Amino acid sequence: MLRVNDPFRETGAAPPSASGRPSVVALQAREKYLIGALVVLTLAALFAPALPAAAWPIPHYVDTRIWLGLPNAGDVLSNLAFLAMGVWGSERLRGRNDAPVGASWFFVGLILTCLGSGFYHLDPDVPQRLVADRLGMAVAFAGFLGIAAGERISVRAGEAVLVLMMVAGLLAAWVARENLTPWVVVQFGGMALAVGLALTRPRPGALGVPLGGVIAFYVLAKLFELGDATIFEATGHIVSGHTLKHLSAALAAWPVIRALRPAVPQSARS
């Protein structure tokens, strides 16, 4: 019988067999539910009605001001927040062996999002530039879902979700040039999956990343995006909603970074 503090039970890893080779561990109930959710998302991405990209209106951002020769300066420069959080998070990972699955890819994705989104907002009237924007987002999103699954279900579940969502997200970002359906499924279906995982108790031995905080900043970013022009007018043309969207989306990394803070020595607590 497994003991309560069995490390294989806590991590979801397969314990070695008597012959020295790892044995296959039966799927946990949570892992079965996760597989079911992933199957539903896959079927939706493959067989849901296509949303032609050509029929989707090209977004027009309200703040087009030029600063020091830089067009759309507010929306371009606000992407530096992704770079800052990505570098900060990557530094927090150094020398750690307890980081959640997907954390490194999450922070790499933020850095790529800074580059891709900045490139896109330099000339957002060129729809082909959206691919660069979405590719970085896909990497960051896959990293976050890997963190969520690893924290709430098992390490192997986090690894599987990271790989699957990385492949699906990158493919969906590329296909979105013609068909937006897979990208919509990845973005909104993936976030629904993250909400479900956030409502699940952390597994034993998890670092304790507050998934709800990440989701809250993401929702706030979406609200800022919808209120782009309204916020621009309400602030007297100081800042647009889309600029605030970038800042809020970057702050979604803060709960993960905070969970990775250095442990306080016991002597310092007394």
pLDDT tens sequence across 7-30: 444 444 555 544 445 445 688 899
- 3-state DSSP: the chain helix, strand, coil percent, rounded to 5? 65, 0, 35
Looking at the chain, the whole-number percentage of residues with pLDDT higher than 70 is 88
Per-residue pLDDT, 10: 45
The whole-number average pLDDT for the span 28-39 is 94
- Pairwise CA distance, residues 185 & 92, whole Å: 31
- Lowest mean pLDDT: which of 98-102, 145-149, 182-186, 225-229? 98-102
Per-residue pLDDT, 126: 87
Provide the 3-class DSSP secondary structure of residue 67. Answer: strand
* Enclosing H/E stretch for 147: helix 130-152
Query: Is the pLDDT assigned to residue 132 strictly greater than 50?
Result: yes
**Contact yes or no for 122/145 (Cβ under 8 A):** no
Nearest by Cα to 87 from 62, 111, 109 = 111
pTM over 0.95: no
CB contact set of 72 (below 8 Å; sequence gap of 6+): 61, 63, 64, 65, 66, 121, 122, 124
- Lowest mean pLDDT: which of 79-88, 126-135, 139-148, 189-198? 126-135
Query: Is the pLDDT assigned to residue 3 strictly greater than 60?
Result: no
| Alpha-carbon dihedral 142, 143, 145, 150, rounded to 10 degrees | 140
Work out the mean pLDDT of the chain and round it to a whole number.
89
- Pairwise CA distance, residues 149 & 69, whole Å: 44
The whole-number average pLDDT for the span 160-183 is 96
- Longest CA span, the chain: 72
Query: Is the pLDDT assigned to residue 145 strictly greater than 90?
Result: yes
Angle at 151 between CA 208 and CA 23, to 5 degrees: 135
Provide the 3-class DSSP secondary structure of residue 121. Answer: helix
Per-residue pLDDT, 128: 86
The whole-number average pLDDT for the span 210-219 is 97
The dihedral built from the CA positions of residue 131, 174, 212 and 266, taken in this order, carries a sign that is: negative
Query: Is the pLDDT assigned to residue 65 strictly greater than 50?
Result: yes
Per-residue pLDDT, 55: 80
- Pairwise CA distance, residues 141 & 215, whole Å: 11
Tokens in use for 125? 């009237």
The whole-number average pLDDT for the span 93-102 is 89
The string over 163-176, giving b where at least 16 C-beta atoms fall within 10 Å of a residue's C-beta and e elsewhere, is: ebbbebbbebbebb
Tokens in use for 189? 């279906």
